[in-house]
Structures are given as C-alpha cells and as structure tokens.
Amino acid sequence: MYRPLKLLTGTANVPLAKEVSEYLGVSLSDMLVTKFSDGEVRVQINESMRGGDVFVIQSLSYPANQHIMELLLIIDALKRASAGRITAVIPYFAYARQDRKDRPRVPISARLLADIITVAGANRVVTIDLHSPQIQGFFDIPVDNLYALPVIYDYINKHLDLRDPIVVSPDAGGVERARQLANKLGCGIAIIYKRRPEPNKAEVFDVVGEVEGKEAIIVDDIIDTGGTVVAASNLLLNKGAKRVIVCATHGVLSGPAVDRLVDSPIEKVIITNTIPVGEKSFHKLEVISVAPLLAETIKRIHEEDSVSSLFS
C-alpha cells in the first residue's frame, strides 16, 4: 500500500476538492497553480510527494483547455517529485462527446486526451458518468467510472413528493440510465425519439411510452445548452404529462442554457457539483454534492478495497 494519502487540486473546482478533503479528514497539499504574464500555466508543489498515494482533483470544465493543461502539469510535477502512485480524479471528463469518427477527417478527441493524460504520468483515473462508457477502453491504465444516479435518487426520494412518476430518457443512448432510476423508483420509462442535425442542436420528434397524467422525470448525463431537455419537456407536456423535472450529472450550462431553462415549463432542474455553477445559479436549480462519493472512492482505492461494491 502506498503511503501517505495526498490530495491536490487544480483551479477548476476548488469547492468540491475542499468538500472531499473535509470528508476524508486530509488537508489539501500546498501547491501553487497560476499563470505567467503570457498566459502559460505555472505549477509548483510546495511539499514532499515522495512515495505518496496522490489524488489530483480536477474537473475538465470550461475553460477546458486551461484545466486540461493544469492537470497535465500537476501530474508531470508529481511524477518528477517521485510520487508513488498518481490518480487523476476527473469528475467531468472533457471532449467525451467526441468519442468516435462520425464523419470524414475529424479527430477522436477523447482518445487523444486519454493518451495525453496517460503519457503525462497518471497511473489511474477516477471519473463520473462518462458520456460514452467505452472511453474507459481508450486508457491503458485502470479507470473507475462512477455513477451519480444513487446520489440523484437519494435527493428525489427525500425531497420530491411523487405520486405517479415516469422516468424519461431524452434519447435512445440513455435508456439504461433511465431504466436504473425507474427500477429504484418502481415506475416505468419512456423514450424521446430525436435526431441531432449538428452539435448543440436537437430536433425532438416523439415519445415512446405513455406519459399522460404522469410526473415526468427526464434523466440525462449532461445539460449543455439546454435545447434537448427544454424541447423534450414541451413535448411531454403536450402529450399530457402533469409536470416535468430534469435530472443530470453534469451541468455544463453553456450559451443560452440558463435563459432557456428559466423560461421553460420545467419545474425543477437537479444537477451535481461535478462542475461549479457559480453565477449560473437560478431559482429552479438544485445542486447536490458528489463529494462523499468521490471521497469514499479515494478512500477505497487508497486502502486497496473494492470500488464497485459502492454500487452493489
């Protein structure tokens, strides 16, 4: 077993890193992450890492390229400081939607990012709800892809009064996620049929499943511009749903997302804190913490215990 346990964080999501630190009772290690005057990232670790079991907490959210560079430089600094094992804890993995060559002459960006993180010196990766689970196979090192669904279910179970719910997947790819939540709630599922003509634009066509008179819970992994969930909510209400609640792991909330969600008929939007909300908060938004999930995972990896048993 590697000793001791060390926690570091880049600048992407310091509040989440502090929550994990408090849960584990392990202080964040002293480190400087800033910029030179020309914009280049500067990293300096101010305490010994030799032989340590080091976990670097860094979401790759906006500005993604800066946060990626911070992560890579921190990992490189740790490798050169003789850290025993380096685990990159990446609550939100950038470029995950670019996971295949879907048209001529485009990169597979998620694969490239996986290669870069590995070459930088990471020995293991922990992430939450990868957009495409097969991205785990892009790495030649162990990857723990955690699920936020139990955290979301706990919130729904404790805080929402649901009489006749139905869980809705906004696309065919999310059916398994919807099925898992529906099993926990003891209800049925519905599926939105849609076609996406270009990135960040969705055309919603129809719903497969009976939603009339039911409380619809749309569950997705990412809310980006909000176009998909707003169009889906309008469709569900037109089909007779009584109310619409949206749940997602990652609240990217880019571009017109906040205005769209505020102006939409969606009653509540539930996301986790894998990405800091900051000034994008609004009255319908509920943010729940994945810090206990990450902290327990870090503890189990450090103590060489099973991570998968967290979800069994």
Nearest to 74 by CA among 20, 22, 11, 16: 11
Q: Are 163 and 215 in contact (CB under 8 A)?
A: yes
Nearest to 232 by CA among 171, 286, 297: 171
| Domains of the chain, start order | 5-147+291-311 (3.40.50.2020), 149-288 (3.40.50.2020)
Q: What's the rounded Cα separation, in Å, for the pair 191 and 210? A: 10
**CA 108 centroid distance within chain:** 20
Q: Are 296 and 147 in contact (CB under 8 A)?
A: no
What CA–CA distances, in Å, run from 118 to 28, 58, 87? 23, 15, 10
What CA–CA distances, in Å, run from 147 to 34, 56, 151, 152, 177? 32, 19, 8, 10, 10
pLDDT recorded at residue 102: 86
pLDDT recorded at residue 206: 86
Q: Are 164 and 214 in contact (CB under 8 A)?
A: yes
Q: Which of 101, 158, 184, 194 is catalytic?
A: 194
Q: Are 193 and 187 in contact (CB under 8 A)?
A: no
Q: Is 220 helix (H, G, I), strand (E, B) or coil?
A: strand
Q: Per-residue confidence of the chain (312 residues) as pLDDT tens digits?
A: 668 999 999 999 999 999 999 999 999 999 999 999 999 999 999 999 999 999 999 999 999 999 999 999 999 999 999 999 999 999 999 999 999 998 999 999 999 999 999 999 999 999 999 998 899 999 999 999 999 999 999 999 999 999 999 999 998 888 999 999 999 999 999 999 876 667 766 666 789 999 999 999 999 999 999 998 999 999 999 999 999 999 999 999 999 999 999 999 999 999 999 999 989 999 999 999 999 999 999 999 999 999 998 887
pLDDT recorded at residue 110: 96
Cβ neighbors of 304 (< 8 A, separation 6 or more) are 1
Nearest to 242 by CA among 187, 190, 166: 166
184 is catalytic: no
pLDDT in tens, 120-145: 999 999 999 999 889 999 999 999 99
Q: What is the pTM of this model?
A: 0.93
Q: What phi, psi does 139 have (nearest 5°)? A: -95, 145
pLDDT recorded at residue 204: 61
